[in-house]
Amino acid sequence: MSGAQGGDLNRNPPRPDRLDHAEGASVPLRSHVREAQPRGAVINGNHPIDQAEAAERFIAAPEHERMHDARLWDLRQKRDRQMHGIAEWEDLRRLASEIKEHALTHLDHYLEQFEANARANGIHVHWAQDADEHNAIILSLLRDHSVKRLIKSKSMLTEECGFRDFMAESGIEVVETDLGERIQQLDDEAPSHVVVPAVHKLRSDVAAVFARTLGTDPDDDDVHYLTEQQREKTRPLILDAQAGLTGANFVVAETGTFVVCTNEGNADLSANTPSLQIASIGIEKVIPRLEDLPVFVRLLSRSALGSPITQYTSHFRGPRRGGELHVVLVDNGRSERLGMEQFWTSLKCIRCGACMNTCPVFRRSGGLSYGATYAGPIGLIIDPTFNRHRYSSLPFSSTLNGSCTNVCPVRINIHEQIAGWRKVLAETHELPLMKKVMMREAGHLLSHPALYRAAIATADSALKHLPRFMVYNRLNTWGHGREVPAPPRQTFHEWYAKNRPTGQGEPT
Amino acid sequence: MRIGLFVPCYIDAFHPEVGVATLELLERFGLDVAYPRDQTCCGQPMTNTGCHAESAATEELFVRNFTGYDYIVAPSGSCVHHVRCDMDAVEQTDDVRQVRARTYELVEFLHDILKVDAFPWAEFPHRVSLHNNCNALRGLNHASMSELREPAFSKPADLLSKVRGLEFVHISRPDECCGFGGTFSVFEKGVSEKMGYDKVRDHSSAGAEYVVSADSSCMMHQQGCAQRLEMPLKFIHIAQILNGARA
């Protein structure tokens, strides 16, 4: 398949001999070309992230870009096939959205209900206002139990909290149990996608990382070899870890329990191997009743990976015999977001990543180009709530095409919120001055018909002005990779004056 | 029925033939069509960039130009989407609300309002690939969307199916954005170009001679990409085909 374009994929039905579920691709995808892995956005203090620059470097690595696009488009197509298998799909999405909106608008009630029921189940419940508190609570638990090594499963919340770095500074070894996340940890990179964290890497990249960190053969990029080597090296670390940490996909208020969904079973490894179990959970994860849960379980993996359900859907009800179970409920900006009239529904997000898989910009940029915890469409509307200045350019990394909104299982109006953020950023002076000035000039020109007519009076001046005010930048930006439109002989306006001389142009 | 013809600035300056085809097509149905001379733009470029305040005067001018018509028709899904769904910088007076509600994109006007069942003058003996602008598709419901579980339909394809000789080809990612995205095409030129290249390759490998769309802006971008890749792909607005263009 080395020469296959992503487009070929679409005309091939799924092969019957392939495992068409879970995390598998429905067609073989493989690159035989070695190419250096493009790295993510340049982080420069609190300066706005330049996503476009990082995206151009990703595109300049054609094998990476092609595989990334094909892999994620395959997930989108698998998702579509699952959707067509469920007659009540759109009703499910509506119901999921309504349950989440209800829970979020009664958040205090359901969180307290969860806390009381969890305590009754023997779970220790902690509350963390922000990332620092979250990290401090867990560190103190680990120190109380003399923990030297913590194993953990994938959790975006811990990424928000800079948890791995904090633990490293505190002298506690953290070992990721999710394969993709482990690859990212060994490469000292953040996850590039909320569900498939190493999807931006080719297998040759993984071979290079493992050769460097695990001592494997750098020229052997066979997936079975690489997976087995990693497993052999990591299993001993897992088996004698003293504490395990997971996130949670859903928290059920009425039962005081929580649910973790994985395909590798690694959350169960994290939760059940050591006697001390900790779960870091964002407060927006709560749903009222157990009977609400199936609505989300049916939507989650179908939206994320196009599989009917994750391989493991684990319910945690209390501590193991002789063990301890701690839950840390984390706010970290969520309450503030809940108060934002235009943006609060972003808290409905169940982190399925469907918006990333369908996003044509994400597929061609790689998740690390966003330089933020959350990449892709959902990231564009969440990241500015953490740091409006640093992430001020991200809402512009979208064509506002709206596909993200359509695939969202909880019906977040993502593309409308992206547009909403652009307005907020313009109003709070977070737009580059040049952009703002050009828009002011364009607004002036376009609201004065005589000026406008003069500006586009000749073909030459139209070419000079039109792209310039329409798209703000110089013509050579348009012409970088595209031909400029041929100059017209006359504008429509001129044609009309000649050909419909009696046209009144006014309603009667 | 008094129709106000809105010819967006791109079309006015770069594709006047699309404005002409739209006017002639509406006149074929015996409609009284006027072109208000002082029109410029709908305000979308500024709003698209977040600069709503900078868009207000342009939106006000638009409403002044088009107040009083029974319908306002434009050959651009993107601009009509702005007028109908996003024109919120200007104060929402009765005139503004009325103009916004009466503004139609050409395809939906022909399909939903005029309910045209034949274009006897139209013949286009070519293989065409239909490109739906994202605002027309997902904002104006021009067609069913591949992301949703809904019955299949397509207003532009319905109209084109009444044209003699026209043969559709189908691309592998029909609803994928082509990467124009207004100001995006310049702010993110790398991604925009790559999306455009992928789109025109998709048209080309499906065997299209022509790409047809209800939006000139997407096609200007795609045409620029196709020419850069030296592809023999041709582009034509749906108004031109429906008005009887043969090539």
pLDDT tens per residue across span B192-212: 999 999 999 999 999 999 999
pLDDT value for A265: 87
What is the distance between the alpha carbons of residues B213 and B133, in angstroms, rounded to a whole number? Answer: 7
Residues B132 and B206 in one domain: yes
Residues B102 and B157 in one domain: no
User: What would the pLDDT profile of B155-179 be if each residue is shown by its tens digit?
Assistant: 999 999 999 999 999 999 999 999 9
Find out whether B133 and B214 touch, Cβ atoms under 8 Å.
yes
Is the per-residue pLDDT at A4 higher than 50? no
- Contact (CB<8Å) A505/B11: no
Domain endpoint, select from B61, B89, B113: B113
User: What would the pLDDT profile of B55-114 be if each residue is shown by its tens digit?
Assistant: 999 999 999 999 999 999 999 999 999 999 999 999 999 999 999 999 999 999 999 999
User: What percent of chain A is predicted at pLDDT more than 70?
Assistant: 90
Is the per-residue pLDDT at A20 higher than 80? no
Q: Output the DSSP codes for A59-94.
A: HTSHHHHHHHHHHHHHHHHHHHHHHHT-TTHHHHHH
Residues B131 and B238 in one domain: yes
Average pLDDT over residues A431-443: 87
3-state helix, strand, coil in chain A (%, to 5): 50, 10, 40
The CATH number linked to B201 is 3.40.50
**Inside any domain, residue B189:** yes
**Inside any domain, residue B209:** yes
User: What would the pLDDT profile of B98-126 be if each residue is shown by its tens digit?
Assistant: 999 999 999 999 999 999 999 999 999 99
Domain endpoint, select from B113, B148, B174: B113
CB-closest option in A89, A421, A471 to B149: A89
**Inside any domain, residue B122:** no
Instruction: Determine the residue of chain A that is closest to B221 in CA distance.
Output: A482
Distance spanning both ends of chain B, measured CA to CA: 31
What is the distance between the alpha carbons of residues A304 and A318, in angstroms, rounded to a whole number? Answer: 28
Average pLDDT over residues A467-476: 47
Sort strands A312-316 and B2-5 into parallel, antiparallel or unpaired: unpaired
- Contact (CB<8Å) A488/B35: no
Residues B135 and B195 in one domain: yes
Residues B20 and B99 in one domain: yes
Q: What residues 414-433 of chain A have any CB closer than 8 A to a CB of chain B?
A: 419, 421-427, 431
Residues B144 and B206 in one domain: yes
Residues B148 and B101 in one domain: no
**Inside any domain, residue B121:** no
Is the per-residue pLDDT at A466 higher than 80? no
Q: Which residue has 């005029």 as its token pair?
A: B114
Residues B106 and B158 in one domain: no
- Contact (CB<8Å) A495/B67: no
**Inside any domain, residue B219:** yes
Residues B29 and B90 in one domain: yes
Instruction: Determine the residue of chain A that is closest to B145 in CA distance.
Output: A406
Residue A134's CB is within 10 A of a number of other CB atoms, namely: 27
- Contact (CB<8Å) A449/B86: no
User: What would the pLDDT profile of B33-55 be if each residue is shown by its tens digit?
Assistant: 999 999 999 999 899 999 999 99
**Inside any domain, residue B141:** yes
pLDDT value for A328: 98
Residues B108 and B182 in one domain: no
| B129 bridge partner residues | B169, B211
What ipTM was reported for this prediction?
A: 0.97
CATH number of A1-429: 3.40.50.10420
**Inside any domain, residue B87:** yes
pLDDT value for A5: 36
What is the distance between the alpha carbons of residues B196 and B186, in angstroms, rounded to a whole number? Answer: 13
Supply the mean pLDDT for chain A. 91
**Inside any domain, residue B63:** yes
Find out whether B246 and B106 touch, Cβ atoms under 8 Å.
no
Is the per-residue pLDDT at A478 higher than 80? no
pLDDT value for A200: 98
CB-closest option in B46, B55, B146 to A80: B146
- Closest by alpha carbon to B24, among A234, A480, A499? A499
Residues B52 and B21 in one domain: yes
Domain endpoint, select from B113, B140, B157: B113
CB-closest option in B4, B134, B189 to A401: B134
Strand positions, DSSP E, B6-148 = 32-34, 71-74, 103-105, 127-131
Domain count, chain B: 2
pLDDT value for A192: 98
Cα–chain center distance at B201: 21
Average pLDDT over residues A408-412: 98
Instruction: Determine the residue of chain B that is closest to A51 in CA distance.
Output: B188
Q: Output the DSSP codes for B178-224.
A: -S-TTTHHHHTHHHHHHHHHHHHHHHHHTT-SEEEES-HHHHHHHHH
Sort strands B71-74 and B2-5 into parallel, antiparallel or unpaired: parallel
Residues B88 and B152 in one domain: no
Segments forming the whole domain that contains residue B136: 127-242
What is the distance between the alpha carbons of residues B140 and B133, in angstroms, rounded to a whole number? Answer: 10
Using a CB-CB distance cutoff of 8 angstroms, which residues of chain A are in contact with residue B11?
Answer: 492
pLDDT value for A21: 55
- Contact (CB<8Å) A496/B35: yes
pLDDT value for A449: 94
